[in-house]
Structure 1
């Protein structure tokens, strides 16, 4: 008999396999209740007939969706791709699907994304750059486990995996100062960003520890994009005095600024040194290659996903809820 895949029901498979519809349901949901021989025979028949078990019905039968929600600030970029690579590797190994949404750097859109994923996922991985990250859960706390990544959530009841933002910036700026640079500028990023707040704190400490006044540092605002870094480079060129070193709060802005400066004839690092943060793959291939702070983006994604799946499965997790991933100064040609 020929079957149309769209028309095949659980009863059709049961009839063909000469078993009950309950047995077919157990084959796809509770295989421990069915003999291995029956499982193999029913699955073989179902595949031949083109039968696909209803995902919603499966989730209702055991209270799980087998999916994890991921909310990121942006849907693209090398940094977020590395985070997703780590998450995806764990999800694949653990047989979970991923539903991905973007907050577009907006607290309100982040809240909306979490609401949209309610009831569709077994757990949530959330990254937000906003300093008021806790507000994302104030109106309605999700009824599934939530793990935060590089967000201002330390000290809450939620798992939080963060980078050494403050220490990393301290290392980068200290390196510039150790090279003898004293006229500094920084490209900051959005003013409500947790990353920016932490990295500027590290910058101020490095400057103060050298005996300089942190207020002497010129601040130019970007938005984490390469285009904003390019515009920041134009603003640096318009200053009365060209700084001898620039720390950008991420690599995209550093690379964009270098492009604008070099177009104007500024030699890097001879006339001006440049350092960034994140160590995205493009940093090493920029011209000149970019000195930056390397953070284990892939590893953080993996660790956060592992923790979430452990929470979803109700496994005992002896580790602390908070984990800080170390940063490393990578010195390249730009300094």
Structure 2
């Protein structure tokens, strides 16, 4: 039993109960560095159970200089792309003998700050961070001396490691594929206007319009949250307009799914009535009906690089930019073109 008046058992309590030294208890808990006879090991484990001992991970981290944990702070884990990237980061961390602690801000800036402070207080060995908005709490993390990799576009003047995809170029490529079908009435569902990545994606879309000589029409640009509901409500707003675009660039997969749902309620079809492409697709894009033409980020390769950046000496700031991958589906109208040619 724990000592009377004590809040929690210590290794000394376990050693006393097992009839061993504190060092032997440590060898059992840490699986080394010295071997322990099997009978002694069983006796220590039984004593741990009896005393209800719980290792003090913070004290261990301070003693070893490492907690063997990383922190990951994301805006909203319900976003399919963020979830897929978080999964890739977690798997890569496990492959490197690390544990990933996930902090889901739920699109709340205040909650994001609380998560960062909580992870820092747990002495994580580093943080991966994708902020809710364009005002991330980088100064707090840097003041703590904790290694950091930003997983989104931020101002390079902030002197922080950044891992990203060139989102303007990716948006340009998928929008160009859409326009290559000959559509002239083309709109866009953008992300929240204040977000850097929303601005980058619209920049790429506008570049494609200019290259194909297609006029931009302000009434066909619909800012929306990066959610299914955002895409659904954007579609409702679009359907109330006097005219409809023939094709659409959508800023993420969730918006595209919500958009298609709203069209279906009005018996409008993709791509027959409105063709679309989207940004930041996941494996789900290929299984949607219709399958989505999208650009995907190489999350496994990005996860490997992110961990390498975090483990590297922090004396030099790194910027790592990955190429995107165009995935052709049915939503852009490729199937219609093939059918017409047949």
Q: How does 1:134-283 map to 2 (within 5 A)?
A: 136-138=137-139, 141=142, 142-154=144-156, 156-215=158-217, 218-283=220-285
Going from structure 1 to structure 2, the CA distance change for 1:11 and 1:46 (only over 3 Å counts) comes to: same
Q: Note if contact 1:243-1:272 (Cα within 8 Å) is conserved in structure 2.
A: yes
Bigger relative CO (Cα 8 Å, ≥ 6 apart): 1
Give the structure 2 partner of residue 292 of structure 1.
294
The offset of 1:22, in angstroms, is 4.3
Could you report, residue by residue, the CA deviation over 1:295-321 in whole angstroms, capped at 9, with x for unpaired residues?
A: 12343234323432x24xx6x999x71
Distance 2:16 2:197 in 1: 60
Question: Does the alignment pair 1:10 with 2:8?
Answer: no
Question: Does the alignment pair 1:324 with 2:332?
Answer: no
Question: Does the alignment pair 1:132 with 2:135?
Answer: yes
Going from structure 1 to structure 2, the CA distance change for 1:234 and 1:17 (only over 3 Å counts) comes to: closer
The offset of 1:23, in angstroms, is 5.0
Going from structure 1 to structure 2, the CA distance change for 1:22 and 1:286 (only over 3 Å counts) comes to: closer
Q: Note if contact 1:79-1:297 (Cα within 8 Å) is conserved in structure 2.
A: no
Q: Structure 1: which 5+ residue stretches go unaligned?
A: none
Give the structure 1 partner of residue 46 of structure 2.
48
Distance 1:31 1:95 in 2: 16
The offset of 1:113, in angstroms, is 2.3
Q: Note if contact 1:244-1:272 (Cα within 8 Å) is conserved in structure 2.
A: yes
The offset of 1:77, in angstroms, is 3.1
Distance 1:153 1:106 in 2: 21
The offset of 1:276, in angstroms, is 0.8
Q: How does 1:5-84 map to 2 (within 5 A)?
A: 9-15=10-16, 19-22=20-23, 24-25=25-26, 28=29, 31-32=32-33, 36-38=34-36, 43-49=41-47, 50=49, 51-84=53-86
Give the structure 1 partner of residue 336 of structure 2.
none
Please give the root-mean-square deviation of Cα atoms over the aligned residues, in Å.
3.0
Q: How does 1:83-122 map to 2 (within 5 A)?
A: 83-120=85-122, 121-122=124-125
The normalised TM-score by structure 1 is 0.84
The normalised TM-score by structure 2 is 0.83
**SS at 1:101's partner residue?**
strand
Distance 1:175 1:161 in 2: 26
